[in-house]
Amino acid sequence: MQYPEFIELIKCYDFICLTETKTDDFDNVDIPGYTFKLKNRKTKSKVKSGGIAFGYKKELENYVQTIESESNLVFWVKISANYLKTEQDVMIGTVYIPPENSTYKVPDSINIIEQEFLKFSANHESILLTGDFNSRTAANLDFYEITNTNHDTSDNFNIDFSNNLHKFHMLRIRNSCDKTKNHFGNLLLEMCRNNNLFILNGRVDGDKEGLFTCRQSSVVDYFICTYNLLSCVVNMSVLDFSALFSDVHSPLNCKLVFNSIDNIVECDDILINDLACHERKGFKKWDCEKEAEFLRNIDRNKIDQLNNDLTMLNTSILAQENINKIVESVNGLMLDSAEKVFGSFTYKRHEKKCRKKVEYNRWEETPQYLVFHKKVKKEERRSVLGIQASNRGDNPPTRRLKYRRLQARIDRLQATYRAGNRNIDQYWNAMIYTVAQFQ
């Protein structure tokens, strides 16, 4: 390598991911102190294009393993848990997706990467994706908004990982200087939402603005990781553009520190609807004919006290705690009057789950298993039909991808159940709901 500036750039990093290397099987990247593995694009033309490279310090040779995969769009590497001092290995996928308007365009590129991700996520909870996705996502959500309603069909097993991002000093709603989306961007966002993947750009320390990564006009290069890795992310930044390193892209860096990756946030902090055996107070519906009575029953002394509290507040410095206290006081006024006028009642939202736990020797003995088994088998048959149709060239393998997503969610639910020793009735209801989402 004849560029000392490039060596100076990378010498402080343990791992280096390069895209659009434009190398072939006869090329060799020789940088002092580093080992580089190449994944070259197979092309019939004489012009070199595409290509991915992964580099690491030579002293890490025994801790890095390249993983073969079918797609040329992503280069997988496994970092040993012995080096990271974690319980599980960490997978890194370096991605290069050709642009939508390129002659090398792969229409199902995001789906192909997602299928490979699902394959590896079955055995690896900590996965990092990085590279040139050529996907513009603007600042759209990369997670599903979960809201609590009276018609919540998900029973009591809604999981919203995004509510814990603040614990890692990350923004829940990420920023982006790029306000435009493209088709690949929509597909990438869908992939993130379906697999609990989080985009680090515009969210973590070092790049909370979501700086441009390409031509100073778009964001197409990303760091994306699973929820389990978020606690290890220290910062991520977009470096200054240099024509020496790339024609249009700016380098990105990300710092991760590994201690104990499996002891992050307790499950009970993630489950937002775990109300299996808790009594709740409800209020009867509003009656327009009792409006005057409702107003008369509002406690005037509490209103005076509330006015005094508002007068004492320093409006130039409003702490969140004081605002919450005022709002709770107003809410209490309304509810007290409603209880006196309209009446209240107590109920258990999931009363059937409060019965004594029934012990089963095997999952197959549970009454919910039959319903669950039928739904999964139905989706499995659809997957087989989808693969057969794809082999005939009738349609893309969307059903196969859908089935893999389903299987991945089932695996995650099983892992959560085993880790938390949850009630088996609750577990199967969550399973059945998960399968029903894919019908």
Query: What pLDDT is attached to residue 422?
Result: 53
Classify residue 169: in a domain, yes or no: yes
Structural domain boundaries enclosing 40 = 4-268
Q: Using CA atoms, how far apart are residues 435 and 383, in angstroms rounded to an integer?
A: 14
Same domain flag for 325 and 421: no
What pLDDT score was predicted for residue 405?
Answer: 76
Pairing of strands 127-132, 90-96: parallel
Which CATH number goes with the domain that contains 166? 3.60.10.10
For residue 197, count other CB atoms closer than 10 A to its CB.
24
Dump pLDDT digits (tens) for 328-361: 788 888 888 888 888 876 654 444 344 444 444 4
Tell me which range, 22-26, 313-317, 395-399, 428-432, is most confidently predicted by mean pLDDT.
22-26
- Residue 141: pLDDT band (50, 70, 90) is very high
My answer on whether 136 and 154 are in the same domain is yes
Answer whether residue 303 is part of any domain.
yes
3-state SS track over 327-376: HHHHHHHHHHHHHHHCCEEEEECCHHHHCCCCCCCCHHHCHHHHHHHHHH
Residue 47, pLDDT score? 65
> What is the model's pLDDT at position 206?
94
Q: Note the pLDDT tens digit of each residue in 85-129.
A: 888 999 999 999 999 988 888 889 999 999 999 999 989 999 999
Q: Which of 311, 328, 348 is the last residue of a domain?
A: 348
Same domain, 229 and 376: no
Among 232, 247, 268, residue at a domain's last position: 268
CA distance 297 to 110: 60
Considering only CA atoms, which of 11, 21, 91, 93 is closest in space to residue 58? 11
Q: Determine, yes or no, domain membership for 178.
A: yes
Does the residue 119 lie in any domain? yes
Both tokens assigned to 394: 């009738």
Same domain, 103 and 182: yes
> Which of 215-229, 298-312, 419-433 has the highest average model confidence (pLDDT)?
215-229
- What one-letter code names the amino acid at 349? R
Indicate if 73 and 213 belong to the same structural domain: yes
Query: In the prediction, which pLDDT does 331 show?
Result: 80
Q: Kindly report the backbone phi and psi dihedral angles of residue 424, in degrees, each rounded to the nearest multiple of 5, phi listed first.
A: -70, -30
Give the model confidence (pLDDT) of 260-297 as tens digits: 444 343 333 333 333 333 455 666 777 788 888 888 88
59-77: per-residue pLDDT in tens? 999 999 999 998 999 999 9
Count of structural domains, the chain:
3
pTM: 0.62
Name the residue with higher pLDDT: 186 or 27. 186
Task: Note the pLDDT of residue 346.
Answer: 66
Cα–Cα distance measured from residue 215 to residue 21, given in angstroms and rounded to the nearest whole number: 18
Same domain, 312 and 376: no
Percent of the chain topping pLDDT 90: 38
Kindly state whether residues 187 and 310 are assigned to the same domain: no
Assess if residue 274 is contained within a domain.
no
Claim to verify: residue 36 and residue 124 sit in the same structural domain = yes
161 within 8 A of 267, measured Cβ to Cβ: no
| Boundary (domain end) residue, out of 288, 319, 348 | 348
Shared domain for 343 and 419, answered yes or no, is no
- 61 and 190 in a single domain? The answer is yes
Amino acid (one-letter) located at 193: R
Mark whether 264 and 400 lie in a shared domain. Answer: no
Task: Express the helix, strand and coil content of the chain in percent, nearest 5 each.
Answer: 40, 20, 45
Parallel, antiparallel, or unpaired for β 233-238 and 221-226? Answer: unpaired
- The answer to whether residue 95 is domain-embedded is yes
- Residue 273 maps to a domain: no
- What does 251-307 look like in DSSP terms, one character per residue? PEEEEE--S-TT-SS-GGGTBS---TT-EEEEEPPP-GGGHHHHHHTS-HHHHHHHH
**Same domain assignment for residues 47 and 137:** yes
User: What integer best gives the mean pLDDT of the chain?
Assistant: 78
Q: Does the pLDDT of residue 160 top 80, yes or no?
A: no
pLDDT at 435: 62
Residue 77: inside a domain: yes
| Mean pLDDT value of segment 395-407 | 67
